[in-house]
Amino acid sequence: MKEIVLITGAGGMIAKKLSKKLEKEYTVRFLTRKKKHDNDFEWDIKNGIIDESALDNVSHIIHLAGANISEKRWTKERKRELISSRVDSAGLLLKTVKKKKVKLKSFISASGINYYGTVTTEKIYSENDPPGNDFLSEVVVLWERAADDFKEQNLAERVVKIRTAVVLSREDGALKKMVPTIQYGIGSPLGSGKQYMPWIHIEDICSIYEASLKDPAIDGAYNAVCPQHTTNENLTRKIAEVLHKPLFMPHVPAFVLKLIFGELADALLEGSRASSQKIQETGFKFKFSDLKMALEDLLKEKN
């Protein structure tokens, strides 16, 4: 009999692709706000409501739920939503797992590479480094703490936290936003363009989740970031190169981004490198370790 994996954040790009990778070997269920398929189960995080039958005989939970960090300006209400969608959702799962006396083999949670802070330095961060002291690092610390509760309360044999870099995908995310402006000849680096942009191909991030599910030795926090580092300017230029488009517009000034996005602009204007050594030491091998190769794979249908 196949083990049952429950995935939250069903509408996200990672959940959609990951589920296809897993469905041959696992029975996959989704927690979602509105049921559309037989394997969907509804929950309402704000009101603390969940279809408890979603947890029947579940062996693993992959917690991907979380409001999009860069979708809206960070008002006080939006900040609360960014935290609640991650922390309160994990809390609702924990409460239900405890109530139903479920013992999970693994609780695998999304996390963010912003754990180390929204700064641009020459340091390459590893999982042993302390968190930063800005809003995004606060979000990630609370997010990971909510995941760790599953192990601390003996509800999961292990907890894995995937500190995710910018995911490159043709369907959604940063790449989808950057490509149109470059295609129309108005793409340009943001601010100085020297800020690092930790990145990972959608295929590789899904493979890291799959490896985390299958390998019981994978436990704790892991940077899900490609070993090849890049800056915002280099990424922009590589996209233009792959699309065979000129890139002649001046950099978008930092003050313009701050006027448009407010505090959120810091997440676009700052960034440091992170090490992928720990996940590679588990035996994981990146399929797309070269930026140009990754972009050619993702953008080949757009040429």
Is-contact 6 65, C-beta < 8 A? no
Predicted confidence at residue 303, as pLDDT, reads 41
Handedness of CA 20, 15, 281, 104 (dihedral sign): negative
pLDDT of the residue at 200: 98
What are the residue ranges in the chain where pLDDT is below 70? 301-303
Structural tokens at position 12: 């996200």
User: pLDDT tens, 46-92?
Assistant: 999 999 999 999 999 999 999 999 888 999 999 999 999 999 999 99
Residue 301 pLDDT = 61
3-state secondary structure (DSSP) of residue 20: helix
CA 208, CA 197: separation in Å to the nearest integer?
Answer: 19
What is the model's pLDDT at position 203? 97
CATH superfamily of domain region 4-168+200-225:
NAD(P)-binding Rossmann-like Domain (3.40.50.720)
> b vs e for 24-46, b when ≥16 Cβ sit within 10 Å of the residue's Cβ?
eebbbbbbbeeeeeebbbebebe
- Report how far residue 162's alpha carbon sits from residue 141's, in angstroms, rounded to the nearest whole number: 12
Q: Where are the domains of the chain?
A: 4-168+200-225
> pTM (2 decimals)?
0.95
- Which pLDDT tens digit goes with each residue over 259-277? 888 888 888 889 999 999 9
What is the predicted pLDDT for the residue at 302? 43
